[in-house]
Amino acid sequence: MLNFCCSQLSTWFSAAGKKGFSAVPKKYEDNSYTVFLQGRNQDIELKEGRLTVLQQAISYCPFCGSELNTVMNQNIDKIEYYAVQNKDLVL
């Protein structure tokens, strides 16, 4: 189970690639992570029309203000899972 700081952030991690906002972690070669806030105008599976994606690196939870490095360190296995699963979503 994830020990996220709040349920909204947990929902965003599970919403990666879906229409609306999501949180997507990226793993770097030095085993560090960055969390990106993404917004999409359509699900990744939809192959019609124009896909618009916005992406911004974030360091703090946009809902409660918790530092994301602390949240990730408490959930390293699950963050790794999301980073691998969603690696093609990061721009």
Q: How many domains does the chain have?
A: 1
User: Is 21 a member of any domain?
Assistant: yes
Q: Which domain holds residue 63?
A: 7-89
Domain assignment present for residue 1? The answer is no
**Is residue 17 situated within a structural domain?**
yes
3-class secondary structure per residue, 33-82? EEEEEEEECCCCCCCCCCCCEEEEEECECCCCCCEHHHHHHCCHHHHHHH
Note whether residue 2 is domain-resident: no
Q: What is the pTM of this model?
A: 0.91
Q: Is residue 79 part of a domain?
A: yes
Q: Which pLDDT tens digit goes with each residue over 20-50?
A: 999 999 999 999 999 999 999 999 999 889 9
In a domain, 20, yes or no: yes
| 11 falls within a domain | yes
Q: Is there a domain that residue 75 lies in?
A: yes
**pLDDT tens profile 53-73:** 999 999 999 999 999 999 999
* In the predicted structure, residue 1 carries a pLDDT above the cut 50: no
What pLDDT sits at residue 86? 96
